[in-house]
Amino acid sequence: MQLTPEQLVEVLEGYEKDVKAIKRDALQIAWFMKGGVDYDSAMAFGKQDKEIVKDIIKETVEAAKKNNSR
């Protein structure tokens, strides 16, 4: 399959967006874990593991907000 230059740019921009999202997820996990998981370890997580950890982080933050508002 041959891509036009415009299509190639579109594909590469999509890849760049995906890479940025993966790095952001790993950095968020590493920051939230405060040394319990480093960046390299977070990068090694599979997609499903990252999603689970992100859900746990979200739940923890929401619970903290509720407890602080009481």
With vertex at residue 40, the alpha carbon angle to CA 37 and CA 41, rounded to the nearest 5 degrees, is 45
User: Which residue, 19, 20, 39, 21, is CA-closest to 29?
Assistant: 39
Which residue type, as a one-letter code, is found at position 61? Answer: V
With bands split at pLDDT 50, 70 and 90, how would you rate the model's confidence at 70? low
End-to-end CA distance of the chain: 59
Contact between residue 29 and residue 43 where contact means Cβ atoms under 8 Å apart:
no
Give tens-digit pLDDT for 35-53. 899 999 999 999 999 999 9
Give tens-digit pLDDT for 2-39. 999 999 999 999 999 999 999 999 999 999 999 899 99
Q: What is the pLDDT of residue 47?
A: 92
Q: What is the pTM of this model?
A: 0.77
